[in-house]
């Protein structure tokens, strides 16, 4: 942690520059254990907002309804979702384990699976937040439309290898031939 490394809130960049080089305290350079979910969350084609949200979910740091319920705030907030039975029963690690064989590959299918999972998590979280904090409701079909739209827009920004699978997914996602290299 920052304080354990001898830094504090008033530390400036000039304080960690020695002989013209940036010298980070070794405590901050230590790497953690390898995790299964890294390639599911962070990859070249990820949508940063969705990836960050999924990262918080995987780290169990996203303040969801089941966490709010454990604070005994109020049952009137609602803890169920139209797309899911109960937020408390979600097991993101089981889903990640199930999808690991697909995620590890460098194929269009892998990119789409990761984009869809992250978009799903993001838009469900957003749906709950809108309901709680803005008193706005989104229908399941609207959430799905948002997911499909954001994944398709991301795919439109990618350059894809021309392959049978690539063309199949391009047709499925209504992508133009110009994306293929």
pLDDT tens digit sequence for 100-141: 888 888 889 999 999 999 999 999 889 888 888 888 888 889
DSSP 131: I
List own/partner pairs for 136-144 with CB under 8 A and 24 or more apart. Answer: 139/82, 140/82, 140/83, 143/83
Is it the case that residue 67 has pLDDT exceeding 60? Answer: no
Is it the case that residue 33 has pLDDT exceeding 90? Answer: no
pLDDT tens digit sequence for 146-173: 999 999 999 999 988 888 998 999 999 9
Confidence band (pLDDT; 50, 70, 90) for 142?
Answer: very high
- State the pTM of this model: 0.74
List the Cα angle 52/55/61 in 5-degree steps.
105
Tell me the C-alpha distance between 109 and 99, whole Å.
11
What does the domain layout of the chain look like in residue ranges?
Answer: 1-30, 37-179
Asked if 115 contacts 48 with a C-beta cutoff of 8 angstroms, the reply is no
Strands 21-22 and 17-18: antiparallel
Asked if 121 contacts 60 with a C-beta cutoff of 8 angstroms, the reply is no
Weakest-pLDDT range from 24-33, 39-48, 59-68, 122-131? 59-68
Per the structure block, which two tokens stand in for 132? 């709680």
Confidence band (pLDDT; 50, 70, 90) for 88?
Answer: very low
Helix (H) or strand (E) holding 102: helix 92-103
Tell me the C-alpha distance between 165 and 109, whole Å.
8
């Amino acid at each position: 942690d920052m304080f354990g490394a001898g830094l504090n809130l008033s530390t400036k960049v000039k304080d960690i520059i020695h002989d013209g080089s940036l010298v980070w305290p070794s405590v901050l350079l230590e790497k953690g254990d390898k995790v299964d979910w890294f390639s599911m969350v962070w990859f070249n084609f990820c949508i940063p907002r969705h990836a960050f949200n999924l990262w918080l979910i995987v780290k169990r740091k996203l303040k969801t309804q089941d966490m709010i319920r454990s604070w005994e705030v109020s049952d009137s907030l609602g803890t169920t979702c139209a797309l899911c039975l109960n937020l408390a029963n979600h097991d993101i690690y089981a889903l990640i384990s199930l999808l690991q064989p697909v995620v590890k590959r460098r194929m269009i299918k892998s990119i789409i699976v990761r984009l869809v999972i992250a978009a799903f998590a993001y838009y469900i979280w957003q749906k709950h937040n809108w309901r709680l904090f803005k008193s706005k409701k989104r229908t399941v079909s609207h959430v799905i439309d948002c997911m499909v739209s954001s994944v398709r827009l991301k795919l439109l920004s990618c350059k894809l290898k021309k392959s049978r699978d690539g063309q199949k997914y391009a047709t499925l996602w209504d992508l133009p031939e110009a994306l293929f290299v």
